[in-house]
């Protein structure tokens, strides 16, 4: 029987940090998994190196569900982003190995393709309306058929979702919130100013681009349920595809209030890490889209369970796909998204060229649709030489304060 012979943890920073697991079997098969937890990378690396790698040696690489349960139940301390990102990386690597051994892309092992490709949205933003229009046009020119729109807020400086380039109106919009340095940078926030401004932006965007283009927006956990309901109602005339993370959703019940106030489609879950975080949201149909990443939700095995549960309630996927999900995590999301019936949309920001020199991908983006490709396994290879050329370097997500200095949700 083939056994797990080594579990390596690879850290690289080709412009941003990534944590990757590589599992090698006694037969010489290798599999990759993404364990990147933005701003807390070393905690996951240690969890994997010090507590997971030693206890996996000698295990059967084919036993994916059994290994998942071994790491989840065996830890005693369940859930949490560090644990679940670590389990996710091992899970992805084992699916990668299973695909390579079988000579099949992972989506085939999950039941096969349900569609030709995955509808994808990109990130448009700008400080002023003309820059937002330019950014949207740029995405449409690249082939995107759906666009997320983020805007600066008059009177506030750098806010979530608006790149420095986008804000000044120069250069390709490419938002990367994690900033190099040993402390988080600070941003400023005023929810009332944001709520006044945002509907004016969507009115302008709908006026310019017409009724058909799917438009998305991320509230990034900043509103109360009442505020979220009010904003949702104000945006209803502009027919959003979704309003994302309208409240800090640790309190799942608070979404009942939002639902009472607005029919706006809601997407939540990029900071969740298990099916339990969704229990009330799913059974009470308080959301429309599951935002989790494979990377932060225990891997393909666990996110597939969440999606099967969600399918009973007509809730679809909208997997998290910013650049802090590595190409390995992104590939895993594409294989899963292609194989589940209740796929909704996939977030996609192209990784930088230096990142793609470390991670050689085989997924494709054409006519607004992503496809994971047909290479056996996940279809991503890790280039050690390119990876070793960039060591880990501290970087943090920003923190967010109200104008009087009070800490707020970022
Ligand atoms: O690491 C945090 C980012 O991935 C997150 O802020 C991006 O909200 C995000 C999104 O919707 O892509
Ligand atoms: Mg988000």
The answer to whether 398 and 36 are in contact (CB under 8 A) is: no
* pLDDT given at position 163: 74
Q: Which ligand 1 atom minimizes the distance to the CA of 291?
A: 11
Residue nearest to atom 6 of ligand 1 (CA): 177
Question: Which of 203, 107, 176 shows the shortest CA–CA distance to 350?
Answer: 176
pLDDT tens string, the chain, 410 residues long: the values are 999 999 999 999 999 999 999 999 999 999 999 999 999 999 999 999 999 999 999 999 999 999 999 999 999 999 999 999 999 999 999 999 999 999 999 999 999 999 999 999 999 999 999 999 999 999 999 999 999 999 999 999 889 999 765 444 444 456 789 999 999 999 999 999 999 999 999 999 999 999 999 999 999 999 999 999 999 999 999 999 999 999 998 999 999 999 999 999 999 999 999 999 999 999 999 999 999 999 999 999 999 999 999 999 999 999 999 999 999 999 999 999 999 999 999 999 999 999 999 999 999 999 999 999 999 999 999 999 999 999 999 999 999 999 999 999 99
pLDDT in tens, 106-129: 999 999 999 999 999 999 999 999
Return the SS3 of 237.
Answer: helix
394/335 Cα distance (integer angstroms): 31
What is the DSSP code (8-state) at residue 390?
S
DSSP labels, 307-347: HHHHHTTT-EE----STTS-HHHHHHHHHHHHH-TT---EE
Q: Residues 6 or more apart from 210 whose CB is under 8 A from it?
A: none
Ligand closest to the CA atom of residue 39: 1
Q: At which residue do the structure tokens 């994302």 appear?
A: 244
Residue nearest to atom 12 of ligand 1 (CA): 322
Ligand closest to the CA atom of residue 123: 1
pLDDT in tens, 327-370: 999 999 999 999 999 999 999 999 999 999 999 999 999 999 99
* pLDDT given at position 170: 47
Return the beta strands (E) in 164-274 as ranges: 179-180, 186-189, 215-218, 242-244, 266-268
**What's the 196 CA to ligand 1 centre distance in angstroms?**
23
54/69 Cα distance (integer angstroms): 17
Question: Which of 7, 10, 34, 109 shows the shortest CA–CA distance to 65?
Answer: 109
Best substitution site from 121, 291, 322, 346 to test ligand 1's pocket, by max atoms within 8 Å of Cβ? Answer: 322
**What's the 394 CA to ligand 1 centre distance in angstroms?**
18
Q: 400 pairs with which residues across the strands? A: 187, 408
Distance of CA 180 to the CA centre of its chain: 20
Q: Which ligand 1 atom minimizes the distance to the CA of 160?
A: 6
Does residue 38 have its Cβ closer than 6 Å to ligand 1?
Answer: yes
Task: Round to the nearest angstrom and report the end-to-end CA distance of the chain.
Answer: 48
**What's the 324 CA to ligand 1 centre distance in angstroms?**
8
* pLDDT given at position 164: 66
216/147 Cα distance (integer angstroms): 6
């Amino acid at each position: 029987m083939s056994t797990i012979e080594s579990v390596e943890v690879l850290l690289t920073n080709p412009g941003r940090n990534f944590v990757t697991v590589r599992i090698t079997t006694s037969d010489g098969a290798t599999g990759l998994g993404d364990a990147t937890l933005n701003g807390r990378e070393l905690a996951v690396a240690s969890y994997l190196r010090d507590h997971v790698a030693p206890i996996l040696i000698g295990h059967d690489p084919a036993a994916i569900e059994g290994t998942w349960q071994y790491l989840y139940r065996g830890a005693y301390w369940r859930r949490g982003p560090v644990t679940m990102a670590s389990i996710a990386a091992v899970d992805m690597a084992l699916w990668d190995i299973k695909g390579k051994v079988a000579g099949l892309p992972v989506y085939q092992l999950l039941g096969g393709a349900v569609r030709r490709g995955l509808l994808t949205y990109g990130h448009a933003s700008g400080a002023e309306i003309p820059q937002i229009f330019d950014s949207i046009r740029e995405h449409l020119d690249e082939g995107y058929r759906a666009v997320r729109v983020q805007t600066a807020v008059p009177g506030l400086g750098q806010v979530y979702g608006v790149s420095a380039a986008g804000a000044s109106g120069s250069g390709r919009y490419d938002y990367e919130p994690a900033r190099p340095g040993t402390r988080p940078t600070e941003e400023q926030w005023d929810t009332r100013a944001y709520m006044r401004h945002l509907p004016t932006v969507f009115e302008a965007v709908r006026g310019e681009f017409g009724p058909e283009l799917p438009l998305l927006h991320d509230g990034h956990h900043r509103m109360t349920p009442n505020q979220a309901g009010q904003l949702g109602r104000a945006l209803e005339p502009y027919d959003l595809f979704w309003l994302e993370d309208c409240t800090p959703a640790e309190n799942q019940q608070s979404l009942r209030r939002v639902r009472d106030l607005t029919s706006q489609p809601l997407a939540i879950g990029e900071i969740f890490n298990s099916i339990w975080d969704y229990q009330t949201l799913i059974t009470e149909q308080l959301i429309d889209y599951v935002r989790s990443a494979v990377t932060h939700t225990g891997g393909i095995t666990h996110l597939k369970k969440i999606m099967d549960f969600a399918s009973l309630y007509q809730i679809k996927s909208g997997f998290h796909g910013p650049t802090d999900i590595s190409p390995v995590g992104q590939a895993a999301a594409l294989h899963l998204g292609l194989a589940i019936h209740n796929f909704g949309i996939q977030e996609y920001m192209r990784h930088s060229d230096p990142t793609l020199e470390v991670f050689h991908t085989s997924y494709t983006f054409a006519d607004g649709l992503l496809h994971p490709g047909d290479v056996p396994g996940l279809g991503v290879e890790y280039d050690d030489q390119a990876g070793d050329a960039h060591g880990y370097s501290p970087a943090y997500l920003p923190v967010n304060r109200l104008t009087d200095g009070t800490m707020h949700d970022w």
